[in-house]
Structure formats: structure tokens, C-alpha cells
Amino acid sequence: MRFTKMHALGNDYVYVNCFEEKIENPARLAQIVSDRHRGIGSDGLILIDRSQTADVRMRIFNADGSEAEMCGNGIRCVAKYTYEHKLAEAGGAFSVPGQLSCPASLNIEAAKGVLTVGLIMDDSDKVQKVCVNMGQPILVPKDIPVELDGEKIIEQPIEVLGHELLMNCVSMGNPHAVFFCDDVGVIELEKLGPAIENHSLFPNRVNVHFVQVDKPTEFTMRTWERGSGITMACGSGACAACVAGVLTGREKRLCTAHLPGGDLDLNWCEGDNCVYMTGPAVEVFKGIWPER
């Protein structure tokens, strides 16, 4: 099996071009290749395949083999791979209202639907950054899903491992729980992360983020990803944190997220209510995984 290792802000996945490769058991393969000691080493596996409704289709499998609905960092790498390996012809320009314009675009199918991405190339026509229209945030509890009543979950008290926390829930096609704090560096993420991920309130488990607001246009966050553990970045989680920050009056709609792996530019646009995320995508190396 030929594969490509890629990362976006250190959130790394093994990518397989299913235009050329056939994967029989992607859930099991994700567990094997993600192992950082006995495999390739990654946060999971992403398959790039043909689509009936878009330029390409992506499927995301976490390191534990579970399938995810969306990956903000992963979709940027899929866009880069698709363009540079000529799996599809790029479309016309893509603009973010009041922010930037990208010279080319692609449509990528994910479990949450088809997303449009804008491509920013260097002088050698290599994709350096990708802007993704992540769509409108989902705030209704049953649609996230989280088993609580009400129209939104904003600053909801929750007790976890003896800690009283205020929780904000947002779906960006996948579920997120956002907690604001004074210092993300002191959070025991390795303990709180799995406890919240597997809390009974979340029937599909949840991605967990602790966010420190540096100023209204910047925040620092750390993430425990559902099915993968602590990761260096979470694109959809950064979008959820932006939305939660605006709804709690902590942040502006146009802001920058500082993650352990680097920065993401975010814009929760008032005009169309969509969240736009812009950040890098990097190809690390190619290889061949032996048949087993």
C-alpha cells in the first residue's frame, strides 16, 4: 500500500490515495499505522477517494479505529494532495468575506457534507495554505449531540473528576466541548480529556478543548481529540472555540488560535454564519506499507 504522511500544525495523518489503492479494513489499518512505535506513527488515517458530489471524498479514522465525521486539519492536507497530485481540476477563485481571496478552489466531500476550500500557492505552484469554509456551527444540543435540554449549551456547569467546570458545546460536523480557563498550561489534560470525552452526556463521545483568551482577537488552546488523545492541533476544535468565545463575549469573530503546533486564522462571518479557517498543510514523506 502506497501512502503519504502529511501534517497540518503537527496534527499528522497517514493519507492513502484510493484512486489507486483498495483498503479492505480501514478501521483496523488506522490502528496499525497510527502506532508511533510499531507503525508509521500518526493521529489517524485519512482516505482520499472518488466522489459523486465533489472533486474528492475524504474518510477519517482516528488512531483507535473509530471513524470521525470531520477533521479541519485533515481536509487542508486532502486539498493540498488533491491539487498537487492532480486528482481533480481546481475551480475558480474563493473569497472569505472581508478577509482574503484564494486564486483556486476545490470541493471536498466529508461525512458532514461537501465543503469548499480555497488554495494559496507559492511561486512553484505548491499549496502553502488552505482556507476552508467549515460551514455553520451547530448549537442545538440534540444535534451536537449532547444529552442536555435547551437551545444552546453555554457556560453549563459540569463536574468532572472533582472539578467544577463551565462547558460550552458546539458541533462543526463533529462534537466539541470547550472550557475557558486562565492558564492552559496547568490543565491536567491527560486526566480531564478522557474523562470528558467518555462522559455519559455525550452519546458519540466528544473532542475536548481548554482555551485561554489572550486578548479578544487571540486565544491559546490545548486539545484532547476523541479517539486519538492529546494532539498538536485541532482545526474543527479551533473553529468551535472561536464560536464559543464569541457567544460568551470573550472573543471577536475574526481571531487567531494559537495551538501547540502553530496558528490558525479564524473568521465566524456574520454575513453567512459560516466559520472560515485558514492554515498550512505540509507533505512529510511518501512510503510503502507492506502487506500483512
Q: Which residues carry out catalysis?
A: 71, 234
CB atoms within 10 A of CB 158: 17
Hey, what's the cell of 156?
453549563
Residues 6+ apart with CB under 8 A from 14: 3, 4, 5, 33, 34, 40, 42, 44, 45, 46
Hey, what's the cell of 19?
484512486
Amino acid at 238: A
Hey, what's the cell of 55?
472533486
Q: What backbone torsions phi and psi does residue 212 show, to the nearest 5 degrees?
A: -110, 115
Whether residue 26 contacts residue 47, with contact meaning beta carbons closer than 8 Å, is answered with yes
State the Cα–Cα distance between residues 73 and 57, nearest whole angstrom. 15
Q: What backbone torsions phi and psi does residue 63 show, to the nearest 5 degrees?
A: -60, -25
State the Cα–Cα distance between residues 187 and 70, nearest whole angstrom. 26
